[in-house]
Structure 1
Amino acid sequence: MTTFESLGLQENLLKAVTDLGFVSPTPIQEKAIPVLLGGDRDFVGLAQTGTGKTAAFGLPLLHQLDTKVRNVQGLILCPTRELCLQITNDLKNFSKYLGDVNIVAVYGGTSIGMQLRDLKRGAHIVVATPGRLLDIIERGAINFDNVRYAVLDEADEMLNMGFQEDINSILSNTPEEKTTWLFSATMPTEVRRIAQKYMEDPFELTVGGKNTGNANIEHEYYVVRPRDKYAALKRIVDYNPDIFGIIFTRTKIESQEIAESLIKDGYNADALHGDLTQQQRDKVMKRFREKNLQVLVATDVAARGIDVDNVTHVINYELPDDVENYTHRSGRTARAGRSGVSIAIVSGRDIGKIRQIERVIGKKFEKAEVPDGFAVCEKQLFALVHRVHNVTVNEEQIDPYLTRIYEEFADLSKEDIIRRFASLEFNEFLEYYQDAPDLNVKEGPRGSDEHSMTRRNSGKFTRLFINLGSVDNFTRGDMLRFICDNAGIRGNKIGRIDLKGVYSFFEVENDAAPQVQSGFKQVEHNGRSVRIETSQDGDKRKPGGGGGYRSYGDRPKKTWSGSEDGGFRPRREYSKSGSGGGFRPKRG
């Protein structure tokens, strides 16, 4: 077995790699690192997302860094802020024993002043998105005279996002004698042109077949009617109680709508898309990395560069227009040798695209059936039983209460206790799925989920004003939770939410409007009194009208939070965390 020691890396890097728990290099690392340690040859590496490319170029770059020279020696370009931060964090972890190594991340959506100050203090390596780096170059705030290595990571995606001219401008400011390393999942004509223009006789390495997917990913597709897509999504999530996944949509609007509907139906979900501020994106990603989100609903561009361990499922709510983007999506799971599942929810007209993707990735999709109500309930019940069986008992903490607990259960047999315990948490699921319809496309009857959607859309809503908005770091999901917490109502009572800058409007079912106004009489947010008023325009509308979101039906009203022992545990409500508008589970 190949080891990192056999690749020729210096001792301080090997020590950091050991600390990170790396045992043996991935194929791209095993083949690329010895070549890159030579330091004098251009390099093209083709490998899929999640194969360990950052370490493949990061370790050789750090190995050859002259830490005594306080100038930019390495430049790494990548397509998104998330990937920029991920690469920077990885390089800092790799270099922890190298001494004073300064690695600066340069990306848009945050203060350029702070980044300028970081650069002024002297950077050994700059990790950047093209747009922000051009701004800094135009200000004359960076000197590339000492750049020895230029790395283009996810080059195909940078070109897909329209950065070709920016890349040309940036590379033209670097020395001609530098060494260029290019990493990409695919090699379209535009990437090949970059290689020909800026490289001389590069060493080319392909790990796996070109455009092929990760061998550890299972691919499934479910065929449903378009109107049943959301109901099928919920059922698939419920059938996988331990899911920690990403749901992909085509548009920013759809990602926000799906996330809001999932929140209303009791799931811990949030959206990630280009309309969020950097602060909002960071907050969403922090919750996802900490597993305080069960599912993240994202667009292709927003999810680029997400490198989160243990993502179990990727769900394609809509298949991408570009077949190659499917490979990028599915690569969010099964990272670092793990296994994962990539799911597509499609209608009959999408079968041709499924076959096209199969040819590109070289793997067959398994046609799966949307599970029926009995199967979902069974999965949920035994997931609950499994968590209880494996829970860690804190003997010292619980011991003072055991006498009273035993007395309470004295008249019950073991079998009675088990039945009551299972029913306590499980009755809601049993009731909800008791008459669940078949959602698979071969069946004809209309489902109760659609009926539920129609029922919810038919109610009259009152439009209310609230003096909080996006400047208070609220997303629409945050606003929904904030309203429900303080008013003591469920999310299915809330209709459309129009988030503005310093204020917002939201709709609430008429019978719940007095409770909402009463619940906010003495509420403060960050030291400011929160004010709720009936909208003066008297506009009462149905959610979904006038460009609002679509409501998608009901679910047992539980929310879920991440747990270290795997899966998600039920929690009953939220409480304010007291800072930054965030939320945490209420105890007791």
Structure 2
Amino acid sequence: MNSFENLGLSKAILEAISELGFENPTPIQEKAIPVLLEGRSDFVGLAQTGTGKTAAYGLPLLELIEQEEKLPQALILSPTRELGIQIAEDLRLFSKNILNLSVVNVYGGASIDDQIRKLRRGAHVIVATPGRLLDMIRRRAVNLSKIEYLILDEADEMLNMGFKEDIDEILATTSEEKLTWLFSATMPPEVRRISKNYMTDPVEVTVGTANATNVNIEHQYYLLNNRDHYNVLKRVVDYYPDIFGIVFCRTRKETQEVAELLMKDGYNADAIHGDLTQVQRDRVMRNFKNRTLQLLVATDVAARGIDVDDLTHVIHYNLPDELEFYTHRSGRTARAGKKGISISLITPRDERKVKNLARKLKVEFAQVKIPVGEEVCERQLLNFMHRVQEVNVEETEIAPFLDGINEELKDLDREDLIKRFVSLEFNRFWEYYKNTPDLNMKSSTQKRAIRASDRGDSNEDRMFINVGKKDGIDVPRLLNLIHKQCGVRGKNIGRVDLKGVFSFFDVEKQYTDEIIKGFAGAVVGGRTIRIEISGDDPTQSSHRKGNSPRSGGSRSDRGGSDRRFSDRRSSDRGGYKKESYRDRKRKSEGSRYSDRKRRDA
């Protein structure tokens, strides 16, 4: 294997990274560093999460900076503040032996005045989130006209978060002579377009297969009832006593709720999401990195800056809607050549999504049986015995207490002593798990029976709404729309299926009427919203029949079916006239939401 000494790096950089434990370059570092050190061309680097992309561009960048010039020479754009903070910290560590080199971090959630003062004192490298940097540009607080190197880190995520317009505006203030380096874990079409629009004949380096997951990750899924999500999460965590991982949720609210439930139940857990202040986020990340926390519950966006080694598990509390999100989530574990497990908690409706992920990623997903109470207790007991064997005995310190201990235990024989000793750990788990039910759900072969059961036993209704992906809708935006319009919170919404121009979601039955009434006559982006109770199969167009006040309309007197796009006139209940596909498409294309995804989450 090549060494860093052979890549052309200076002695100052080599000494710094040696102290950090860098021994041999990763494949992306080995291929990218020599090209970037030449400082002659644009560059596209594609590599999986956790393969050292920050060092791949950071080390050559530091070599190219002119220390004498106290002007911003390099700009690194990051989608999230966590990632930006991590990048800036890494660059400072890499450059510790380079005198007077200044790296300034610019991101939302912190004092903009402090950041402006640091920039005015002189910065060679700016690491910024697009939103905060754009704010500074508009205030004329930063001058980017001398920027020689622009690095787009996690380019795919910046586009997913809706930063394209911000990036365009920022780049308009930079020199046309600059070099652009783009680094990404995946290469969706939007990222490919960035390379065409912003670069000239870039050198492209791909390590592994684009959009592929780490081969050291074992992919598993548990099949469960939607109502059992939290109980299954606890059971999985208890089954892996030494787990150190991240639990991914789809919304900030769900993230906070799951973390609070875990903490209430005695787990070392906490949440990180966009509603936290920067001080709170820093505290949570500090605790997680030093392993005071065993579980970090996070949203996709907030987790983008998490660079923690030795994670054993990633748990998908809900599967993400995008392939790239699953790749990024799973890539938090199995870093630096180590192995890890990615666990998905899914309902029968998600089985098709798992199969699609397996096909597109070319990996195998293994269905794993949810452990029953006896299995959890056994794992905990064996783990306890392993800890007993591995414990470090402080002979000198414990010696003064041994006589008293022996006296206290003198009436117990060896077998009785072992039983009592083990029971201290065993009893608390057995007490909880001895009467717990089997949470395993039947596989897809039992779906019809499951749906029939759901109709009788489920406390949720399946809802149809006539907005979807082509309207710029994603899951957080749909949940926000429901809450804003009806006051129903995300925790009361279950499974969400986003289609092109319509969507489906589950809601607790007690809130169905509120949702239908809340959307009656509602108009979003120029489009009249239609919402009603759907049939059980989200791929079918028919709806539940019968004269129900929840359906937003009644069947005809002649017994006609309640078709999705039936011909209805406007009414106080929010009905609307039949539209042609062309009219619906025209409205859809003209009513894109202008608000971007979470900024600087």
Q: Aligned with 1:438: secondary structure?
A: coil
- Give the CA deviation at 1:397: 2.7
- Give the residue type in structure 2 aligned to 1:312: T
Cα distance in 1, alignment partners of residues 92 and 417 from structure 2: 52
Cα distance in 2, alignment partners of residues 54 and 227 from structure 1: 41
Paired position in structure 1 for 2:106: 106
- Give the CA deviation at 1:77: 0.3
- Give the residue type in structure 1 aligned to 2:198: Y
Equivalent positions of 1:15-26 (< 5 A) are 15-26=15-26
Paired position in structure 1 for 2:304: 304
Paired position in structure 2 for 1:428: 428
Paired position in structure 1 for 2:80: 80
Alignment CA distance shift 1:404-1:212 (3 Å): same
- Give the CA deviation at 1:98: 1.4
Cα distance in 2, alignment partners of residues 265 and 351 from structure 1: 30
Residues 479-538 of structure 1: per-residue CA shift (max 9 Å, x gap)? xxxxxxxxxxxxxxxxxxxxxxxxxxxxxxxxxxxxxxxxxxxxxxxxxxxxxxxxxxxx
Residues 239-283 of structure 1: per-residue CA shift (max 9 Å, x gap)? 000011111111122112211211222212222222222222222
Paired position in structure 2 for 1:340: 340
Cα distance in 1, alignment partners of residues 20 and 413 from structure 2: 49
Cα distance in 1, alignment partners of residues 4 and 396 from structure 2: 44
- Give the CA deviation at 1:545: 9.8
Equivalent positions of 1:230-269 (< 5 A) are 230-269=230-269
Paired position in structure 1 for 2:538: none
Cα distance in 2, alignment partners of residues 277 and 35 from structure 1: 39
- Give the CA deviation at 1:6: 1.4
Task: Give RMSD over aligned pairs.
Answer: 2.1
Cα distance in 1, alignment partners of residues 416 and 288 from structure 2: 38
Cα distance in 2, alignment partners of residues 407 and 94 from structure 1: 58
Residues 313-366 of structure 1: per-residue CA shift (max 9 Å, x gap)? 111111011122111111111112221110001111111100111122211111
Cα distance in 2, alignment partners of residues 164 and 77 from structure 1: 12
Cα distance in 2, alignment partners of residues 113 and 285 from structure 1: 24
Cα distance in 2, alignment partners of residues 377 and 294 from structure 1: 19
1:415 has 2:384 as partner: no
Equivalent positions of 1:446-461 (< 5 A) are none
Q: Aligned with 1:300: secondary structure?
A: coil
Paired position in structure 2 for 1:142: 142
Cα distance in 2, alignment partners of residues 371 and 394 from structure 1: 37
Cα distance in 1, alignment partners of residues 45 and 420 from structure 2: 58
Equivalent positions of 1:194-273 (< 5 A) are 194-273=194-273
Identity percentage of aligned residues: 60
Alignment CA distance shift 1:394-1:146 (3 Å): farther
Cα distance in 2, alignment partners of residues 67 and 395 from structure 1: 56
Cα distance in 2, alignment partners of residues 545 and 441 from structure 1: 25
Paired position in structure 2 for 1:295: 295
Cα distance in 2, alignment partners of residues 416 and 148 from structure 1: 74
- Give the residue type in structure 2 aligned to 1:409: L
Residues 94-113 of structure 1: per-residue CA shift (max 9 Å, x gap)? 11111221111100011011
- Give the CA deviation at 1:371: 0.9
Structure 2: state its 5+ residue gaps: 451-508, 513-601
Cα distance in 2, alignment partners of residues 283 and 277 from structure 1: 10
- Give the CA deviation at 1:33: 0.9
Q: Aligned with 2:385: secondary structure?
A: helix
Q: Aligned with 2:341: secondary structure?
A: strand
Paired position in structure 2 for 1:63: 63
Paired position in structure 1 for 2:171: 171
Paired position in structure 2 for 1:188: 188
**TM-score (normalizing by structure 1):** 0.74
1:365 has 2:346 as partner: no
- Give the CA deviation at 1:199: 1.1
Paired position in structure 2 for 1:43: 43
Cα distance in 1, alignment partners of residues 395 and 11 from structure 2: 44
Paired position in structure 1 for 2:355: 355
Q: Aligned with 1:337: secondary structure?
A: coil
Q: Aligned with 2:150: secondary structure?
A: strand
Q: Aligned with 1:420: secondary structure?
A: helix
Cα distance in 2, alignment partners of residues 46 and 160 from structure 1: 17
- Give the CA deviation at 1:196: 1.6
Cα distance in 2, alignment partners of residues 228 and 285 from structure 1: 29
- Give the CA deviation at 1:382: 1.3
Paired position in structure 2 for 1:328: 328
Q: Aligned with 1:142: secondary structure?
A: coil
**TM-score (normalizing by structure 2):** 0.72
Q: Aligned with 2:288: secondary structure?
A: helix
Cα distance in 2, alignment partners of residues 194 and 278 from structure 1: 30
Provide the aligned length of Structure 1 versus Structure 2.
Answer: 451
Equivalent positions of 1:278-293 (< 5 A) are 278-293=278-293
- Give the CA deviation at 1:126: 0.6
Q: Aligned with 1:105: secondary structure?
A: strand
- Give the residue type in structure 2 aligned to 1:298: A
- Give the CA deviation at 1:546: 10
Q: Aligned with 1:377: secondary structure?
A: helix
Q: Aligned with 1:158: secondary structure?
A: helix
Paired position in structure 1 for 2:314: 314
- Give the residue type in structure 2 aligned to 1:289: K
Q: Aligned with 1:167: secondary structure?
A: helix
Cα distance in 1, alignment partners of residues 83 and 379 from structure 2: 35
Cα distance in 2, alignment partners of residues 394 and 166 from structure 1: 59
Paired position in structure 1 for 2:583: none
Which stretch of structure 1 is more off in the superposition, 236-245 or 8-17?
8-17
